[in-house]
Amino acid sequence: MQSFVKKYSIFLMLYIVFQPILDSITGLMMRLNMDVTFGVFIRMIVMAVTVFYLLIYLILNLDNKRGFMIIGYFVLLALMSVINLYINYRTKTLFVASLEITTLAKSLYYPIMLLGYFFTFEELAEDRVINKYFPKVIFYAVNLITIIMIVAHFTNTAFSSYSYYKLGESGWFYAANELSAIVSITIPIMIWYALEKIDTLTRVYYWITIILAVYSALLIGTKGSLIAIICGICMGILATVVQFFRRGSNKKLLAGLCGLLVITLGGIFVAYPAMAVSRTAELHTEMIKYKKKQAKTKKGITKDQEKYVKTNKTVSYLLSGRTVYFETAAHNFQKATPAQKIFGMGYATNFKKVKDAKLVEMDYIDIFFQFGFLGTIVYMAPLVYCLVYLIGLFFRKFKYMWSFKWSLLVASVALGFGMALLTGHVIEAPSVSIYFVTILAYAMFNARVFFRTNEDPDTIGVEK
């Protein structure tokens, strides 16, 4: 069994590298209108095996208190899920079993894989092989995304991010929002890896991968990826400046790295007017003006369009009309039964036709409507615990937080939590949550080592 734990830990590391391949295959299958996709099938199998892996790990590494808490949590989560399904089966006007079960299975992906990766790092750290895999696997995975995006772009085979505008590209990936969220979370890790690898200015070729990753990310045309890239680069600049003024630092190297970061950031601002995201901002303003003009005609506009037009211009742009879906979901939740309010309304609250089922696409809000008051507390508990723990580390060990590793890990985790609200598709989308939980588990593992030894575990990082 110990052999299985070790081999599966290595598999989970390598599994990250193959995510872009799964996603591109899934994208092609979705374009062919296939109901069950290859990516979803593989991810559900991996999730099921990871549950077995967790049980074996807990048995082999007997810690009664920790094991009891973890098993107790998953029993509670499973019970809540069953109650949720039963209540909505009896209550909802239209209960589509395939939609409800699939959505629930995808939701359970994050807590299972988060714990799976935490124990993976714990297992691999014992033999000091953790640095062979992380953050290298993230670096390779994003490079695969970059290659797919660039090949699709130059062969004119890329899918449109916004089909109604014919703007932006999502390569051979189906969902631009999910792709944008992946890039948002992983770009800081890419920057961290490259900055650590450039230990002499002769190895500046690592920065070429960052330039290509930024270029492919900007092809998407979503504001989320643009914001994340700027935040990641700015955090890198800040960390470089702080290190520059510390004793014993290689000032020549740090000045060169800071120069690379500043030039890259400047290039993004110079290129902005030509980007798809710039054009979508203009089209958003034009659409608002058109709707307002149309509202004054006899034909008028729909109630949803009216709500969209009346929303603050900046808010409606940042949230892409999600406020309208929120109002509809909130109205349905208000009319829900007490049981539904406690345990949730399942997929897309209450709908009479499948085509009318709409998510708000803001993870925390969708989670609340899906799981209700009590269900949300249970479901979000691991994320809240991680967030509080990492915030505590950040302020208690503040002077250590300006290494490339910690500053960009903080940026990545913060962007993950932020993008879950701004763009959604982070916590409940397995294709994105796999990156988020991996980075979060890695940050948590390092944080726990830091607290336990009272020394920054700088031996856990990029392999030189």
Segment (H or E) for 162: strand 160-162
Cα gap 45→28, rounded to integer Å: 20
User: Which parts of the chain have pLDDT scores under 70?
Assistant: 35-36, 62-63, 163-166, 280-321, 464
pLDDT digits (tens, 9 = 90+) for 148-164: 999 998 998 888 877 65
Q: How many CB atoms lie within 10 A of CB 302?
A: 9
Cα gap 167→316, rounded to integer Å: 19
pLDDT at 62: 67
Cα gap 218→146, rounded to integer Å: 11
pLDDT at 165: 59
Q: Where are the domains of the chain?
A: 2-277+374-453, 278-373
Length, in residues, of the chain: 464
Residue written as token pair 């916590």:
427
Distances from the Cα of 252 to the Cα of 199, 235, 258, 385, 386, angstroms: 11, 19, 10, 40, 37
Cis previous bond, 20, omega within 30: no
Q: Which amino acid is at 392?
A: G
Exposed / middle / buried, residue 73 (Cβ in 10 Å: 0-12, 13-18, 19+)? middle
Segment (H or E) for 161: strand 160-162
At residue 205, the 3 state secondary structure works out as coil
Segment (H or E) for 264: helix 251-271
**Do residues 318 and 423 make contact, with C-beta atoms less than 8 angstroms apart?**
no
pLDDT at 455: 85
pLDDT at 457: 87
Cα gap 74→91, rounded to integer Å: 25
**Do residues 40 and 430 make contact, with C-beta atoms less than 8 angstroms apart?**
yes
Task: Tell me the three-class secondary structure of 353-374, residue by residue.
Answer: CHHHCCCCCCHHHHHHHHHHHH
